[in-house]
A and B are shown apart, each in its own frame.
Chain A
Amino acid sequence: MPKVKAAIYWCSSCGGCDESIVDLGERILAIRELVDFVFWPCAMDPKTSDVEALADGELAVSLINGAIRTSEQEEMAKLLRRKSQLVVAFGSCACSGGIPALANLKSRKAIFDRAYLDSPTNVNPEGTVPVPHSLTADGYPMELPVFYDTVYELGDVIEVDYLLPGCPPNGDMVATALTAILEGNLPPKGSILLPDIALCQSCARNETKPDQLTIQEFKRLIHVQADPVQCFLNQGILCMGPATRDGCGTPCIQGNMPCTGCLGPVGSQDQGARMVSALGGIGEAVREEDVATLLDGIPDPAGTFYRYSMSSSFLGSHRKDVKP
């Protein structure tokens, strides 16, 4: 059987998703028997022209990780879309904005001011900030990608066939998804390649959860020694399990760390609203002042509840029915 061609690309991401493919270890050898990776900037030295030289649809699959913040990322995503039969949004940033999309809570100007002007480690007396068109010192025109106002998920700029969230998707998730793709054993287009149930459902600590879960105060992990067996919420430690999709095998929980929500929302589009709903149901305070004290234990609700899903949330993304 001839090998199929595939590409792996990164947009606004940390490289962790590429790392998780490398983490497949020996399993990647079996995949290499079937797949020829023709474009993978993290691991090889290919050029954009190599992709441009391919026929449209010549790539069987492109795994694209990272959110879309610059015009270059959008161009590359569109190029790979044209050359690929299947595009998988790989990792939380591509699926729903991920960590980079937390920047949607700040304006572009505030980000530039901080990064290039105000940061105490900067020395920039001339106030230079990146601009798309400029001249080099010797007078040649220089082009830089445009930095967009908003961080988009991949699905906002191209059609995405499948989504594999995770920060990063772990080896088992990647192996299962790649096998399904190579065997053509796939759910309907647009599906998330993970089960649609909440993390709590497969969490081993679920059994320690009392029938009536109540929280007196929210505790930060740095202030307490977390019990290794008990449900985190029952200890007053914020755990995103109730609002987060299952499928990771709960490695964080097993490492005695609460879920931070990287697989995105379950059964809904808006993870944050869902988490607010879950927490409101289990608090104990009933008087206004007690509720205020309780909620002071969550200093950054938007950043906590939408840590990985800002771009797909209702409020933290552009209205998708209205083109900017």
Chain B
Amino acid sequence: MARFEPNIVAFVCNWCSYGGADSAGGLKLSYPANVRLVRVMCSGRVDPEHVVKAFREGADGVMVMGCHPGDCHYRNGNHKALRRFRLFERMITQFGIDKRRFELEWVAAGEGKRFQDVTTSMTERVRELGPLEITGNVVEETTHA
């Protein structure tokens, strides 16, 4: 059987993480083609609604990447993202969605290697988890915290 190729949507901030992807390109470091980038101005701009919509429209995993804490171009957008998505992770767990399908990562503009590493490990992890199915109800009670 052909290997499962997950769809992964990655929201990347304009100032750091998109630069990180760019620098991965400059260094000729390839990253999985499963990862589709959506460039936004700041990780603080990413509404959890964008993430649920991505899941709903067929993403098997979603990443949000921003500047390292303290480095935000807008001072505290990534702090907002941190609080939002830690709460979001707790919430999707209640819907029976494995929280390993979501990843919040900090990638600086110069960290091409790190960009490659986090996208590769996310792709492998979601590949192992298999396709996401949104059933609308919790088919089996999940206990993973």
Contact with B along A98-111 (1 / 0, CB 8 A): 00000111111010
Per the CB 8 Å criterion, the residue count for chain B at the interface is: 35
Task: Assess whether B94 is in contact with A291, with CB atoms less than 8 Å apart.
Answer: no
The answer, yes or no, to whether A34 is at the interface (CB within 8 Å) is no
Most buried by A among B80, B86, B91, B138: B91
- Min C-beta distance of A266 to chain B, whole Å: 12
Task: Assess whether B135 is in contact with A318, with CB atoms less than 8 Å apart.
Answer: yes
- Min C-beta distance of A78 to chain B, whole Å: 21
The answer, yes or no, to whether A73 is at the interface (CB within 8 Å) is no
Contact of B141 among A107, A268, A285, A286 (CB under 8 A): A107
Task: Assess whether A301 is in contact with B95, with CB atoms less than 8 Å apart.
Answer: no
Q: How far is the CA of A317 from the CA of B79 in the complex (A)?
A: 30
Task: Assess whether A300 is in contact with B94, with CB atoms less than 8 Å apart.
Answer: yes
| Contact residues of B between 63 and 114, Cβ < 8 Å to A | 69, 76, 79-88, 90-92, 94-95, 97
- Min C-beta distance of A276 to chain B, whole Å: 4
Q: Which residues of A contact B125 (CB under 8 A)?
A: none
- Min C-beta distance of A156 to chain B, whole Å: 10
- Min C-beta distance of B98 to chain A, whole Å: 13
Task: Report B's interface with A, CB cutoff 8 A.
Answer: 44, 47-49, 51-53, 55-56, 69, 76, 79-88, 90-92, 94-95, 97, 134-141
Task: Report A's interface with B, CB cutoff 8 A.
Answer: 103-108, 110, 149-151, 268-270, 272-274, 276-277, 279-281, 283, 285-286, 288, 291-292, 294-295, 298, 300-303, 305, 313-319
